[in-house]
Amino acid sequence: MAHEYDLVILGGGTGGYVAAIRASQLGLKTAIVEKDLLGGTCLHRGCIPSKALLRSAEVYRQTINAKNFGIETSEAKLNFATVQNRKSSIVEQLHNGVKTLIKKGKIDVYPGTGRILGPSIFSPMPGTISVEMPGQENEMLLPKNVIIATGSKPRDVNGINVDGQTVLSSDHALQLEALPSSIIIVGGGVIGIEWASMLTDFGVKVTVLEYGNRILPSEDEEISSEMEKHLIKRGVEIIKNAEILSDSLEIQDGIKIAANVKGDNQSFSAEKLLLAVGRIGNIDGIGLDNTEIECEANFIKVNEVYQTKEKHIYAIGDVIGGMQLAHIASHEGIAAVEHIANGEKKSINYANVARCIYSYPEAASIGVTEAQATEKGFNIKAGKFPFKGIGKALIYGDSEGFVKIIADQETNDLLGVHMIGPHVTDLISEAALGMLLDATAWEIGETIHPHPSLSEIMGEAALAVEGRAIHF
């Protein structure tokens, strides 16, 4: 028997389940098809478990440094099994929360692998969903609309076979039962740098091999170099311009790999290797060949309201590429559902979306970098303020880093805000609100920030744009 729906969502990750909740609020009869666990990558293999591990790494580092605060402890000891258990219980608690929300929204969940069928006896248009469920008969779903939210998976590198034992993706690394003594991380992007920071705090010897000429290549150059400085100070080896030589990987009592570093072939060895070179859309096996849907470089192409070439089939989240962030996936899901329900065009202004890196130190940014602003032809002015001029940062015991604000010389509008230092992944929200409300640097500078607080740095950096910073 075929089941009829207003909307079927393929994939119950952050994008998919948030879209389903919004659809149920708008009165659409909705189903999710999920082949693994509701919550997807972010909850089970991404944002949440990685930040839980990073928090344990932070507590360990702070315990070691507690004597600087006048607290004497006996030697800090790491119990990695407890670290992993804590992570798992946070994930489990949130997973139960998502399941409750889905139940409350009366959203049907089909636990199986979904595939889009072409025109058939069920419908003259592609879009019927066949759900394969282990040990059960296939279910047929007949939706008026479909949202593809199948997410992404780690990108491979030719010649590096991820075996899950010695050569890991971030999915495997999250499940480690014991820490290796040393690790090579291939890729100095966000995921690679978060792992480098966490593992070095846990006492693992870390080497980062980055293909480009700087780590965090999509961030402002000053953020990249400040992050590099901090990681090196904490013992991380960072090799830039490192092009892995294909088929050079040897696995025997650990791994050995060679890279061409500026014309010089060098060999690197460690107990394990983590491959963190980006992610590609989950587009295989979901029936796209039964439709007119177009893809580009492993991602589904959509218009400004997330419709594919088949107007009743939408796609959102990591599977359409772009910034590949959980908060983007969920907002794209809401925008797609509101277009389905009432034709509302609610496309996202990606320039107003904050990007965060939860390493130590944290980094966060929004809008364009200084180089991008100049490339776009803006006549810019910039203000920068260091955390060492902020009393609360000294009290907190963490006063490295800075906030840099880039504004338009003519209009004074904010173009980009770049931060590195304590709690910047929270502080960036003020900049996000400022961007949404079209605030000028002057308005941020005139905002009275509480004293002492880390947030004072936003006011000071904004005043610095006009050469008026008070405490530096």
Ligand X SMILES: Cc1cc2nc3c(=O)[nH]c(=O)nc-3n(C[C@H](O)[C@H](O)[C@H](O)COP(=O)(O)OP(=O)(O)OC[C@H]3O[C@@H](n4cnc5c(N)ncnc54)[C@H](O)[C@@H]3O)c2cc1C
Give the catalytic positions in this structure.
451
Comparing CB distances to ligand X, the nearer of 57 and 319 is: 319
Judged on CB neighbours under 10 Å (0-12, 13-18, 19+), 104 is: exposed
Contact between 243 and ligand X per CB under 6 A: no
Residues with Cβ within 8 Å of 107's Cβ and at least 6 positions away in sequence, in order, are 20, 21, 23, 24, 30, 31, 32
Among 327, 331, 339, 418, binds ligand X (CB under 6 A): 327
Minimum Å distance from CB 120 to ligand X?
18
Among 7, 9, 10, 273, binds ligand X (CB under 6 A): 10
Contact between 40 and ligand X per CB under 6 A: yes
162-181 binders of ligand X (CB under 6 A): 170
Minimum Å distance from CB 125 to ligand X?
19
Among 8, 16, 259, 270, binds ligand X (CB under 6 A): 16
Contact between 15 and ligand X per CB under 6 A: yes
Minimum Å distance from CB 435 to ligand X?
17
Among 60, 98, 114, 310, binds ligand X (CB under 6 A): 114
Comparing CB distances to ligand X, the nearer of 137 and 253 is: 137
Taking CB atoms, the residue at the shortest distance from ligand X is 13
Among 24, 30, 50, 130, binds ligand X (CB under 6 A): 50
Contact between 324 and ligand X per CB under 6 A: yes
- Region from 39-47, 97-105, 116-124, 405-413 binding ligand X, contact rule CB under 6 A: 39-47
* CB distance 12 to 38 below 8 Å: yes
- Region from 234-242, 318-326, 343-351, 406-414 binding ligand X, contact rule CB under 6 A: 318-326
Minimum Å distance from CB 235 to ligand X?
22
Minimum Å distance from CB 51 to ligand X?
6
Instruction: List the x/- string, 364-393, binding to ligand X by CB under 6 A.
Output: ------------------------------
Number of residues that bind ligand X (CB under 6 A): 37
Minimum Å distance from CB 210 to ligand X?
17
* CB distance 429 to 458 below 8 Å: no
Q: Please state the φ and ψ torsions of residue 321, each to the nearest 5 degrees.
A: 80, -150
Comparing CB distances to ligand X, the nearer of 47 and 245 is: 47
Instruction: List the x/- string, 247-286, binding to ligand X by CB under 6 A.
Output: -----------------------------------x---x
| Residue ranges that bind ligand X, judged by CB under 6 A | 10-16, 33-36, 40-42, 45-47, 50, 113-114, 149-152, 170, 191, 282, 286, 317-319, 324-327, 329, 358
